[in-house]
Amino acid sequence: MNFFVVAIGHSGSRWLAHVLGCAHEEADSRDKSIPHPWTPFPVERFWTAGNGYGEVNGMLRFHLSGQYPGRERLIPRRAWLRRNPRAVVTSWMNDELDRDPLELSAICWEVMWHYKNLSEWAAADSEARVIDLETLSTNIEALREFLSWLEVKRTITEDSLRPIGVTPKSRTRFTWGAKEEDVLRRTMQRLRFSGDSI
């Protein structure tokens, strides 16, 4: 049953790990100092933990690259939990770190760079699945089908769709306007995204 689900931070990985009853980011003690996406995938911990092990881990995004396929393909079930990048940027801007509006450019770059990299990784791995959070968190049958694919036996109810760790409304400060959209657009241009990439 070895599997992993990779995500960009604020894409719902904690919620999905809760639903699956599997490890979240605690399994990877390393932090963002990992220098390159092609750093060897930590496949040993899957072998050590046994066939029943799986995890949802945002930090795994630092190991995956469409240009440098690696040992992650030794894990039989591989998925990307994708979320609309505008929603990811919004969540980062509204998180508990009390971000300054001037951080938007850096956050757009971070989110869109990983979004592009994971898009290329998923396209290069024909057996990997791309699962949209917007579908998975609102469609109970889609969630059940995904768990079946992962070979995770859990009872799924409407309560399973309930979000966890939601940012309080009082912290919802960031909104998209023309200036913010322009920052995202210029970031996408620098990363060579086409207009319909997201």
- β-partners of residue 132 are 82
Q: Is residue 195 a part of any domain in this protein?
A: no
Q: What is the pLDDT of residue 27?
A: 74
List phi, psi (to 5°) of 50.
100, 175
Q: What is the pLDDT of residue 144?
A: 95
Q: What is the pLDDT of residue 197?
A: 56
Question: Residue 37 sits in a domain of what CATH number?
Answer: 3.40.50.300
Q: Is residue 11 a part of any domain in this protein?
A: yes
Q: Is residue 14 a part of any domain in this protein?
A: yes
Q: What is the pLDDT of residue 195?
A: 53
CA atoms of 105 and 119, how far apart (whole Å): 21
List phi, psi (to 5°) of 181.
-60, -35
Q: Count of domains in the chain?
A: 1
| Of 26, 174, 27, 39, nearest in space to 108 by CA | 174
Range of the domain at 185: 3-190
Q: Is residue 119 a part of any domain in this protein?
A: yes
Q: What is the pLDDT of residue 121?
A: 95
Q: Is residue 198 a part of any domain in this protein?
A: no
List phi, psi (to 5°) of 184.
-65, -45
Tokens of 128: 């990997």
Q: What is the pLDDT of residue 106?
A: 95
Tokens of 51: 């066939």
Q: What is the pLDDT of residue 35?
A: 63
Tokens of 170: 């009082």
Q: Is residue 197 a part of any domain in this protein?
A: no
Rounded to 5°, the CA angle 121-123-127 comes to 90
CA atoms of 100 and 111, how far apart (whole Å): 17
CA atoms of 129 and 123, how far apart (whole Å): 9
Q: What is the pLDDT of residue 22?
A: 92
Q: Is residue 10 a part of any domain in this protein?
A: yes
CA atoms of 1 and 131, how far apart (whole Å): 18
Q: Is residue 159 a part of any domain in this protein?
A: yes
- DSSP letters along 110-122, please? HHHHHHHHHHHHH
Q: What is the pLDDT of residue 68?
A: 82
Walk along the chain (198 residues) in steps of 10 and give the mean pLDDT of each run: 92 94 79 66 89 91 86 95 95 82 92 94 95 95 95 90 68 85 94 69
Q: What is the pLDDT of residue 72?
A: 93
CA atoms of 130 and 149, how far apart (whole Å): 12
Q: What is the pLDDT of residue 37?
A: 64
